Structure 1
């Protein structure tokens, strides 16, 4: 049993470092050794401070837990390992208790170096692009305007009318709708039409990064707040005088949702590790792809945060509920891709338009754009005809009249999965989460549909 447990600990992707009550290492797996640039035999049987001379009893989380016998969760750490490589980890350190009482402590370290590097690049780009927005320096990075929202339906025209009206206020805005309907497009248009249009517009997908990293990105850090921390403003500060857009806000842990609630209510923040408060002039807009009340009922969205965000709520209906918008959207995408591909496609046949209007578009406008773009890769000119369309769209768009129940169920599953896949920009992880199925199941289905 012991050998099995050790084998399991050696295969997982987290570093495991366990010490006894004296601080002597009793277990140190291969991943931990890889992170630190050491070999397990260099560490096992030795005191932490003998192996890691840069640490002391106040900076070592393992020694802190040995002293307090209380856990430390999600502590971010940045350090240079013994091979000179810069490493960023998120550590959870726990006391170990057994039948004989307190036995020692164990630290679990998750390597987020690549994620941190990517987030730093995003942070830098946001700071570079938006610090001077409105000053004529970033014209090629122009944000969307209300004129960029395509559609003639009463639903979309009423949505634009409401959005234009609330663009003149500072109220928080909550936008929701299925994936691919254009939530960020609408939020950018509101910002571009507001008195904040010359201030920065900063967007952050809350589901894209781990909690500990996202907190430092949002709130900023001061030097010494954790090992390797630097003085760096967060996105709340970078968005000063403008708009901060928090997408997928319901994916945040409830504890971090509470901190964002306080920022909205008090209009001030503290960087991580700082005691000084910074007052903010930022408009907060948020979005999610599910009904916010359902998220509240599921316990995924704090009720108090929902009520604070729900000053203005805008719902973007799915494309299947506004089929009169399909034709202008198709013409828009044809014009767009003619310019990008240097093609000469003139439109679609009536039969194609009817099929497109009968299809359910689970990936919404994004899926429609992806379908049109795919056609441009194989067609140079003329009108888009029925044979140019993907088979699953033609089948469903024609009503599937002659299919058996099993065939219809298979076709519906295929259409739903492919639509979600295209609507999530062919991202396996996001599509699997959206559909609520394992990644392996999605990959099998895509292979079955000859998309992978």
Structure 2
């Protein structure tokens, strides 16, 4: 708290030429014991009532000037100082009152001991309020900040959950330790409303966070974040009937296998075995092997081929306990990441190996089904996980898309080219629960004369050159599923009529067919055009427009979500790194700054293309400005992103913080790769050691680096 908030500004202001009579009159009028002697609002000294009394006792006249009574040795404090600093100054000066000055050294007011007492009472009430909030939420992690986003309080649960060092937390900016929470804390301070149940990923931890405002005398003076580890929710999810059913399928498939089957995690720890494996290795109880390394239980199996080298092994003859066996193995993948391996051991009736292999293939099919179902469930849990964003507009859009997916209505996705309309359409299908396929049709890429056959298919002999037996159209392929009509604004008028009939009747006829085919298809359409305007122009049918325009989702363009650019850059750089032998650390801060000032007419697709081109032209560890395409207006020569004047200053501050955070993370990555060696880190970054030390001091990296190395 600041001195200015508790200063008495209604003070006695006297001229050096004032008389004792005028001074006494002012003291009585203001009911104070002290007056400030000023000239042009600059402090000359003070006069105290005790000095007046003594002068009168010494027979001074009421009309005598007070100049001889002025005390020029005055204790002063600044109005922007904290109350604790003010108290120390007054105690050290052994005074009960002090003159408060502003930044221009003009007199601002008087602070007395009573003012300090009032301020400390206020501070005490503030502390009690914060402590009460913490106690009420002790079952969760709690951290509070003041209006400047500096950490004021936290509980032990927060320290344990987030692996923080409590010594450096108090008064530290929230950005220093918990940057993902900054945006929601600002929103809470700004609106004074609770921001509830936000799913946030931080380092290796995923939490559900609620942001609660802290009020003092009806004013929002801070905020606190309440965190719960999402693991508790995942434990509940594991009890869902679907998961249990899939596990029973896997257990049954393993027990029906003729020979030995063992499954391990990515570290080679056994997670499942069947009776055949236990019989081969003479194991009485599964508990004796679950969780133990396969290399210890079954050292004859060359498990490193799948676990270490990611190789499939179709069949290899080995000896296990004097039994000739054929071993096959393969790694298990989910969403492109390996999370284990499966091993099949054929040892019974090798003369009938064909029959045995048939059953083993059936087992493998069951395992594949199980993986597929797990993948589908994970996609249903978060169908838009591939959308990289922290922007509030995009978060709201994803929530609206999830609601739309659960409905039965047709959906129209609008947005500029390159914003990811197809990605969201597929996510809506995955979340909808429809059992059919997701079929895509680009209405602008198929020749007009082929559109009808593409949509509705054709019967055997429908025309010369027709495929024998006919061909199903997109509607048949999408039966019980979703048909995604991309660029629907480019659909010819002739096909619009037929499409409308199918949407109304849910039936159609193949070209050249005599019977009607009924389908159950949900339409998700997308366009970057203004369909309402096309309706006015007579280019697009009004009745079809209202048929597909039941739910409208508009994807914000990239220029409206500039805070996502650092995340998107990092995502695309990692994506390109994984495809090539190069290892780019990241995008330079000045490039991020330029990116956030560009209007991006091609949106995210354009950003990815720009980064991919720059990646190949970069000969260092960074994407720099001179690696960018010259034909783009990324150098600020024209067409800059227009920002309202009242928002420009705040946006500039946010960008600067974003750039600083990016630069800091890159330095930390280099230090981590070099295991803390400053010289090697400087070489990786392409800077001098002096520059590296300056940056580390600027971002307070030394303390955080020690913390990270300690926790790792």
> Shorter-chain TM-score: what band?
0.5 to 0.7
1:206 aligns with 2:443: yes
Distance 1:380 1:358, change over 3 A: same
Which residue of structure 1 lines up, in the alignment, with residue 614 of structure 2?
375
Distance (whole Å) between structure 2 residues aligned to residue 397 and residue 321 of structure 1: 18
Alignment of structure 1 residues 396-411 onto 2, 5 Å: 396-397=635-636
Which residue of structure 2 lines up, in the alignment, with residue 291 of structure 1?
530
Please, what TM-score do these two structures have when normalized by structure 1? 0.55
Shift of 1:151: 1.4
Distance 1:353 1:229, change over 3 A: same
Alignment of structure 1 residues 215-364 onto 2, 5 Å: 215-230=452-467, 231-364=470-603
Shift of 1:202: 0.9
Per the alignment, in what secondary structure is the counterpart of residue 475 of structure 2? Answer: helix
Distance 1:395 1:270, change over 3 A: closer
Which residue of structure 1 lines up, in the alignment, with residue 49 of structure 2?
none
Alignment of structure 1 residues 188-207 onto 2, 5 Å: 188-196=426-434, 198-207=435-444
Distance 1:388 1:257, change over 3 A: same
Shift of 1:380: 5.6
Shift of 1:159: 0.7
Which structure carries more relative contact order (alpha carbon 8 Å, separation 6+)? 1
Per the alignment, in what secondary structure is the counterpart of residue 286 of structure 1? Answer: strand
Distance (whole Å) between structure 2 residues aligned to residue 312 and residue 251 of structure 1: 20
1:155 aligns with 2:400: no
1:181 aligns with 2:397: no
Distance 1:398 1:344, change over 3 A: farther
Deviations along 1:356-397, one digit per CA (max 9) or x if unpaired, are 011111111000000111112122652222222223446554
Indicate if the aligned counterparts of 2:531 and 2:545 stay in contact, CA closer than 8 A. Answer: yes
Deviations along 1:262-300, one digit per CA (max 9) or x if unpaired, are 111111111112231111111111111112212222322
Shift of 1:243: 0.9
Alignment of structure 1 residues 49-128 onto 2, 5 Å: none
Distance (whole Å) between structure 2 residues aligned to residue 256 and residue 341 of structure 1: 44
Aligned residues: 266
**Structure 1 stretch 252-261 or stretch 291-300: which is displaced more?**
291-300
Per the alignment, in what secondary structure is the counterpart of residue 175 of structure 1? Answer: strand
Which residue of structure 1 lines up, in the alignment, with residue 604 of structure 2?
365
Which residue of structure 2 lines up, in the alignment, with residue 20 of structure 1?
none
**Structure 1 stretch 307-316 or stretch 344-353: which is displaced more?**
344-353
Deviations along 1:299-356, one digit per CA (max 9) or x if unpaired, are 2221111100001111112111221121111111011111111322122222111100
Distance 1:395 1:201, change over 3 A: closer
Per the alignment, in what secondary structure is the counterpart of residue 485 of structure 2? Answer: strand
Indicate if the aligned counterparts of 1:386 and 1:394 stay in contact, CA closer than 8 A. Answer: no
Distance 1:136 1:208, change over 3 A: farther
Which residue of structure 2 lines up, in the alignment, with residue 168 of structure 1?
406
Indicate if the aligned counterparts of 1:355 and 1:394 stay in contact, CA closer than 8 A. Answer: no
Distance 1:360 1:344, change over 3 A: same
Distance (whole Å) between structure 2 residues aligned to residue 395 and residue 328 of structure 1: 19
Alignment of structure 1 residues 381-420 onto 2, 5 Å: 381-393=620-632, 395-397=634-636
Distance (whole Å) between structure 2 residues aligned to residue 217 and residue 159 of structure 1: 32
Per the alignment, in what secondary structure is the counterpart of residue 389 of structure 2? Answer: coil
Distance (whole Å) between structure 2 residues aligned to residue 274 and residue 285 of structure 1: 27
Distance 1:204 1:400, change over 3 A: closer
Indicate if the aligned counterparts of 1:270 and 1:278 stay in contact, CA closer than 8 A. Answer: yes
Distance (whole Å) between structure 2 residues aligned to residue 386 and residue 151 of structure 1: 24
Indicate if the aligned counterparts of 1:343 and 1:381 stay in contact, CA closer than 8 A. Answer: no
Deviations along 1:147-199, one digit per CA (max 9) or x if unpaired, are 00111111111110000111112211111111111110110111112202x42
Indicate if the aligned counterparts of 2:599 and 2:639 stay in contact, CA closer than 8 A. Answer: no
Distance (whole Å) between structure 1 residues aligned to residue 437 and residue 597 of structure 2: 41
Distance 1:271 1:358, change over 3 A: same
Indicate if the aligned counterparts of 2:489 and 2:529 stay in contact, CA closer than 8 A. Answer: no
Indicate if the aligned counterparts of 1:257 and 1:305 stay in contact, CA closer than 8 A. Answer: yes
Shift of 1:226: 2.5
Which residue of structure 2 lines up, in the alignment, with residue 69 of structure 1?
none
Unmatched tracts of structure 1, length 5 or more: 1-133, 402-452
